[in-house]
Amino acid sequence: QKEVEQDPGPLSVPEGAIVSLNCTYSNSAFQYFMWYRQYSRKGPELLMYTYSSGNKEDGRFTAQVDKSSKYISLFIRDSQPSDSATYLCAMYRGNAGKSTFGDGTTLTVKP
């Protein structure tokens, strides 16, 4: 069983929709959580970085962490065609020296 499981998708939504992307994890030692956005043929770009349980907001993006349920989410409000990409969740322990990534969810936002 993988340490990090990500909703596989693909996901297709109309422009303006609210998008929810989700990951679960099994290792309770994970302390830091990230969301990356990856456009086709490009490297992943760090979108959100959180440490504690709760919500963190940045513009149209909200990252949510529930450590008790071992569940993280990324919400995108008022989705735009430019949000069409693959989204990867990632997490790590404090001194692990490496991150563990989900397999990614591909999102398409249709105009």
Partner 1 sequence: DGGITQSPKYLFRKEGQNVTLSCEQNLNHDAMYWYRQDPGQGLRLIYYSQIVNDFQKGDIAEGYSVSREKKESFPLTVTSAQKNPTAFYLCASSRTGGGGNQPQHFGDGTRLSIL
The Cβ of residue 17 has, within 10 Å, a number of other Cβ atoms equal to 16
The four Cα atoms 21, 24, 28, 30 give a dihedral, to 10 degrees, of -40
Q: State the nearest-atom distance from the C-beta of 101 to partner 1, in Å.
A: 4
The residue among 39 and 71 lying less far from partner 1, judged by its C-beta, is 39
Report which DSSP code applies to 111: -
Q: Which residues are near partner 1 by CB under 8 A?
A: 6, 32, 34, 36, 41-46, 49, 51, 88, 90, 92, 94-99, 101-104
- We find the least distance from the C-beta atom of residue 51 to partner 1, in angstroms, to be 7
To partner 1, the closest distance from the beta carbon of 55 in angstroms equals: 18
> Could you give the CA distance from residue 110 to residue 107 in angstroms, rounded to a whole number?
10
- Residue 38 burial class via C-beta count within 10 angstroms: exposed 0-12, middle 13-18, buried 19 and up: middle
- Minimal distance, residue 26 CB to partner 1, in Å: 15
- Give the separation between CA 45 and CA 47, rounded to whole angstroms: 6
Nearer to partner 1, 17 or 67 (CB): 67
Nearer Cβ to partner 1 (17/56): 56
